[in-house]
Amino acid sequence: MEELLLEKDSYCDSAFLMLIRGEVKKTAGVRDATVAMGAPMNLDLLRARSFSGDAPKEAALNDLIIAVDCDGADSAKAAVAAAKQALMRKSKAAAGAGVRVAPTTLAAAPRRSGDAATRGATAKRSRWARR
């Protein structure tokens, strides 16, 4: 039994998705699983594995694909649920870990660091640079 799910505009890092694939493959009754983005190479791999359905034809680069090949409908449903649960668990963990985006400019770095002395020095340099 094959189950193929397409989640539009659900970008995830490919290394992260490989870890989730490993978790999904541990689900009872799963023969094969793919958790990947809609990149052309990933779509070609799905076609080569003979996954049926129209979802790969519709997939865009920013779309998440969950494809499982299982012994039956119950194990397919469980595998898709395991993939979704792993995605939610990992994204909540990342959000709760205080993940911060690095500053994109040198001027933004002192504001992010919280260092008052650095902020003051930057302000003085920029004030003098304007003269």
Spans of all domains in the chain: 2-96, 103-131
pLDDT of the chain, 131 residues: tens digit per residue: 989 999 999 989 999 999 999 999 999 999 999 999 999 999 988 888 877 666 667 889 999 999 999 999 999 999 999 999 999 886 655 555 555 556 666 666 666 555 555 555 555 555 555 55
**Coil, helix or strand at residue 104:** coil
- The reported pLDDT for the residue numbered 48 is 85
Alpha-carbon span 31 to 71, nearest angstrom: 7
- The reported pLDDT for the residue numbered 110 is 67
- The reported pLDDT for the residue numbered 58 is 80
- The reported pLDDT for the residue numbered 71 is 96
- The reported pLDDT for the residue numbered 44 is 87
Q: How many residues does the chain have?
A: 131
- The reported pLDDT for the residue numbered 29 is 96
Architecture of domain 2-96: 2-Layer Sandwich (3.30)
- The reported pLDDT for the residue numbered 38 is 93
Asked whether 4 and 66 are in contact (CB, 8 A), the reply is: yes
Alpha-carbon span 75 to 3, nearest angstrom: 10
Give the containing element (helix H, strand E) for 49: none
Q: What is the DSSP letter of 9?
A: T
- The reported pLDDT for the residue numbered 90 is 67
- The reported pLDDT for the residue numbered 55 is 62
